[in-house]
Amino acid sequence: MQGFTEEEKARIRNALEGARSPWRIEFLDLVGSTQDEAQILLETGSPPPFAVLASEQTEGRGRRGRAWNQDGAKDLSLSLVLRPGDSVPALLLPILLAGALHRGLEAFLPGGGCRIKWPNDILLGGRKLAGILIEGAGEGSWIAGIGVNVGRRTFPADLANRATSLALVLRRPPGRAEVAARFLRETASLLERAEGGDPGPALEAFHRGFALLGKEVVICSRGDESRGRLLALDPSGAALASGRVFALGEIESLRGAEP
């Protein structure tokens, strides 16, 4: 079992130096799911914001009840427990986190190339590089789990054609601690701005990665497909040029109309 080295821990802690409120960071070796560990810490009195990182995870959870597969200590698994101030609408959180993760990953990918897929997957070359699972934890707290394929080079057969990793596309891939540090720094900075009443940077970061603003899109909501130009997407909904607005919570899929 390969836990986090002191160097990795220092790199991650340093990323949050200067953040307005200190974030506790818990480093664990082997867990079932960091989501569950985060919930336990919250219930036993740890005040948000804090992050739980596990070197290895055996029962990782994905969205829609799916499992999240991690390759031992090569990949990044972390859960963030946040209780944003009243100025941050709950629906901004997935947007902000996807924007922060996209920015954090793009920093390692010269020439860019990674994209946000609705609602908050990160794809590279059409394959999944990272995912976010957000679970409500009561009393205004949210547990956001982030999984990034960092150092693995192989996947189980059912994922092999659908997933990728930084190690598969970069000659000198970063370590999991570098990826975590970038993501945490971006998140803290966007959150600080949003809590100060300015959601603009979070929306900009999301739209840079999502890249569908002003484009023809297909929205699937309540079983119906609608097509049109995407004029706006923010916590108040996704607005098409036709005047139709879709509540974010009711969007099952949102993709570019072009193949």
Query: By Cβ distance, which residue is nearest to ligand BTN?
Result: 131
Angular region, 45: left φ>0, alpha ψ -120 to 50, beta rest: left
| Binding test (CB under 6 A) with ligand BTN, winner from 8, 12, 23, 34 | 34
Q: How far is the CB of 122 from ligand BTN (least distance, A)?
A: 9
Q: How far is the CB of 199 from ligand BTN (least distance, A)?
A: 23
Give start and end residues of each alpha helix (H) in the chain.
6-15, 34-43, 92-106, 166-169, 176-195, 200-210
Is residue 106 within 8 A of residue 213, CB to CB? The reply is no
162 binding ligand BTN? (CB under 6 A): no
CA pair distance 249, 207, nearest whole angstrom = 18
DSSP state of 248: G
> Of the two residues 79 and 189, which places its CB atom closer to ligand BTN in the complex?
79
72 binding ligand BTN? (CB under 6 A): no
CA pair distance 186, 97, nearest whole angstrom = 9
SS3 2: coil
Q: How far is the CB of 30 from ligand BTN (least distance, A)?
A: 13
For the window 171-190, what string marks contact with ligand BTN as x by the rule CB under 6 A?
Answer: --------------------
| Binding test (CB under 6 A) with ligand BTN, winner from 4, 23, 50, 68 | 68
79 binding ligand BTN? (CB under 6 A): yes
164 binding ligand BTN? (CB under 6 A): no
Residue 120 φ then ψ, to 5°: -155, 40
165 binding ligand BTN? (CB under 6 A): no
Q: How far is the CB of 114 from ligand BTN (least distance, A)?
A: 14
Is residue 166 within 8 A of residue 107, CB to CB? The reply is no
121 binding ligand BTN? (CB under 6 A): yes
Residue with tokens 């994209």: 115
Residue 215, both tokens: 């484009």
35 binding ligand BTN? (CB under 6 A): yes
Q: How far is the CB of 22 from ligand BTN (least distance, A)?
A: 22
User: What secondary structure, in 3-state letters, does 77-133 show?
Assistant: EEEEEECCCCCCCCCHHHHHHHHHHHHHHHCCCCCCCEEEECCCEEEECCEEEEEEE
66 binding ligand BTN? (CB under 6 A): yes
- The residues that touch ligand BTN, with contacts defined as CB under 6 A, are 33-35, 60-63, 66, 68, 77-79, 121, 131-133, 145-147
